[in-house]
Chains A and B, each alone.
Chain A
Amino acid sequence: MPHPELSFVHRGQIIHLREVPPTRTLLQLLRDDLGINATKEGCNEGDCGACTVVIGEQRGDHLHYSAVNSCIRLAHSIHGMALWTAQDLSAADGSLHPVQQALLNQHASQCGFCTPGFAMSLFGLYQNQVCQGKPVSREGAQEALSGNLCRCTGYRPILDAAQQMQTLPRVTLDEAEILSKLEHISLIPKGLEADLSYKSPTTLAELLALRAAHPQAQIVAGCTDVGLWINKLHKDFAEVLDVTRVAELRQISTDDTHLRIGAAVTLTDAFAALAQDRPALVTFANRFAGAPVRNSGTLGGNVANGSPIGDSMPLLIALQARVQLASVRGSRELALEALYTGYRQNVMASDELLTQIIVPKPEPDELLRVYKISKRQEDDISAVCFAVRLQVQNGVVTQASIGVGGVAATPVRAVQTEVTLTGQAWTEATVEAAAAALRQEFQPISDMRASSDYRRQVLGNLMQRFWLESQGQTLVTLADLTLEGL
Chain B
Amino acid sequence: MNTTTHSIGRTVAHESARAQIAGAAPYIDDLPELRGTLYAAPILSTVAHGKINEIHTAAALALHGVVAIVLASDVPGDPILAAFAGDEPVFARDTVQHIGQVIGLVVATDVMLARRAARLVKLDITPLPAILTVPDALASESYVLPPVTVARGDSDAALARAPHTLKGTLEVGGQEHFYLEGQIAYALPQEQNQWLIYSSSQHPGEVQHWVAHALGLDNHAVRVECRRLGGGFGGKETQAGHLAVWAAVAAAKVKRPVKLRLDRDDDFLITGKRHPFSYQYTVGFDDTGRLCGLQLMMAAHCGFSADLSGPVADRAIFHADNAYYLQDVAITSYRLKLHTQSHTAFRGFGGPQGMIVTETILGDIARQLGLDPLAVRLRNLYSDEPLNPAEPGLRRDTTHYGMQVEGNILQPLLSTLEQSSQYQKRIEAISAWNEQHQTLKRGIALTPVKFGISFTATLFNQAGALVHVYLDGSVQMNHGGVEMGQGLNTKVAQIVADELGVPLHKVLATASDTSKIPNASATAASAGTDLNGRAAQFAARHVRDNLAAFVGGLDGVGAGAVTFQGGQVFTPKTTRTFDAVVQLAYANRIQLWSDGFYRTPKIHYDKTTLSGRPFYYFAYGAACTEVALDTLTGENKVIRVDILHDVGRSINPGLDVGQIEGGFVQGMGWLTTEELVWNDKGLLTTHAPSTYKIPTAGDIPAHFKVDLWDAPNTEDNVGGSKAVGEPPFMLAISVFEALRDAVARARDDGAVVQLNAPATPEKLLKALTQVR
Q: Which residues 622-675 of B have a CB within 8 angstroms of A? A: 628, 630, 632-637, 639-640, 654-655, 657-658, 661-666, 673, 675
How many angstroms from the CA of A54 to the CA of B487 in the assembled complex? 29
One of A28, A111, A153, A377 near B181 (C-beta < 8 A):
A111
B761 touches A234 (CB 8 A): no
Q: Which residues 463-510 of B have a CB within 8 angstroms of A? A: 484-487
The answer to the question of A152 belonging to the interface, with a C-beta cut-off of 8 Å to chain B, is yes
B21 touches A85 (CB 8 A): no
B665 touches A86 (CB 8 A): no
Complex interface bits, A90-114 against B, C-beta within 8 A gives 1, otherwise 0: 1000001000100110011111111
Of the listed stretches A154-162, A318-326, A387-395, chain B binds: A154-162
One of A37, A43, A50, A448 near B26 (C-beta < 8 A):
A37
Q: Which residues 16-55 of B have a CB within 8 angstroms of A? A: 16-27, 29-30
A153 touches B662 (CB 8 A): yes
Q: A447 and B632 in contact (CB under 8 A), knowing A110-B658, A112-B16, A155-B700?
A: no
B264 touches A42 (CB 8 A): yes
The answer to the question of B443 belonging to the interface, with a C-beta cut-off of 8 Å to chain A, is no
A481 touches B440 (CB 8 A): yes
The answer to the question of B589 belonging to the interface, with a C-beta cut-off of 8 Å to chain A, is no
How many angstroms from the CA of A480 to the CA of B433 in the assembled complex? 15
Return B517 CB to nearest CB of chain A, in Å. 21
Of the listed stretches A247-255, A271-279, A404-412, A450-458, chain B binds: A450-458
The answer to the question of A44 belonging to the interface, with a C-beta cut-off of 8 Å to chain B, is yes
A483 touches B661 (CB 8 A): no
Of the listed stretches B224-232, B298-306, B417-425, chain A binds: B224-232
Q: A449 and B691 in contact (CB under 8 A), knowing A234-B116, A377-B699?
A: yes
B29 touches A41 (CB 8 A): yes
Of the listed stretches A139-147, A257-265, A422-430, chain B binds: A139-147
The answer to the question of A151 belonging to the interface, with a C-beta cut-off of 8 Å to chain B, is yes
How many angstroms from the CA of A378 to the CA of B699 in the assembled complex? 8
Return A274 CB to nearest CB of chain B, in Å. 21
Which A residues lie within 8 Å of B116 (CB)?
234
The answer to the question of A461 belonging to the interface, with a C-beta cut-off of 8 Å to chain B, is yes
| Beta-carbon nearest neighbor of A112 in chain B | B20
Q: A155 and B23 in contact (CB under 8 A), knowing A104-B13, A113-B230?
A: no
A107 touches B439 (CB 8 A): no
The answer to the question of A475 belonging to the interface, with a C-beta cut-off of 8 Å to chain B, is yes
Which B residues lie within 8 Å of A378 (CB)?
696-699
How many angstroms from the CA of A118 to the CA of B181 in the assembled complex? 15
| Beta-carbon nearest neighbor of A141 in chain B | B697
A111 touches B696 (CB 8 A): no
Which A residues lie within 8 Å of B688 (CB)?
43, 45, 47, 232
One of B112, B655, B662, B673 near A154 (C-beta < 8 A):
B662
Which B residues lie within 8 Å of A38 (CB)?
22-24
Which B residues lie within 8 Å of A447 (CB)?
685
Which A residues lie within 8 Å of B658 (CB)?
107, 110, 152-154, 157
Q: A154 and B675 in contact (CB under 8 A), knowing A90-B22, A379-B696?
A: no
B689 touches A48 (CB 8 A): yes
Where chain B touches its partner, the secondary structure class is loop
B696 touches A146 (CB 8 A): yes
Which A residues lie within 8 Å of B178 (CB)?
149, 151
Q: Which residues 130-176 of A have a CB within 8 angstroms of B? A: 138, 141-143, 145-146, 148-159
Q: A87 and B23 in contact (CB under 8 A), knowing A111-B228, A377-B698, A465-B439?
A: yes
B697 touches A158 (CB 8 A): yes
Return B759 CB to nearest CB of chain A, in Å. 10
The answer to the question of A464 belonging to the interface, with a C-beta cut-off of 8 Å to chain B, is yes
The answer to the question of B704 belonging to the interface, with a C-beta cut-off of 8 Å to chain A, is yes
Which B residues lie within 8 Å of A28 (CB)?
112
Q: A481 and B628 in contact (CB under 8 A), knowing A100-B21, A115-B21, A156-B700?
A: yes
B13 touches A107 (CB 8 A): yes
Complex interface bits, B688-725 against A, C-beta within 8 A gives 1, otherwise 0: 11110111111111111000000000000000000000
Q: A109 and B29 in contact (CB under 8 A), knowing A48-B180, A376-B673?
A: no
A486 touches B433 (CB 8 A): yes
| Beta-carbon nearest neighbor of A449 in chain B | B691
Which A residues lie within 8 Å of B662 (CB)?
110, 151-154
How many angstroms from the CA of A417 to the CA of B632 in the assembled complex? 19
One of B485, B686, B702 near A483 (C-beta < 8 A):
B702
Q: A115 and B20 in contact (CB under 8 A), knowing A151-B666, A376-B696?
A: yes
A40 touches B230 (CB 8 A): yes
How many angstroms from the CA of A100 to the CA of B22 in the assembled complex? 7
Residues of B within 8 A of A (CB): 11, 13-14, 16-27, 29-30, 112, 115-116, 119, 177-182, 228-233, 263-265, 429, 433, 437, 439-440, 442, 484-487, 628, 630, 632-637, 639-640, 654-655, 657-658, 661-666, 673, 675, 677, 679, 685-686, 688-691, 693-704, 760-762, 765-766
Chain A to chain B: the 7 pairs with minimum beta-carbon distance, closest first: A38-B23, A111-B485, A113-B230, A112-B20, A86-B23, A154-B665, A47-B689
**4 new A-B contacts at CB < 8 Å, known A41-B182, A104-B17, A478-B635:** A40-B27, A40-B29, A155-B700, A461-B633
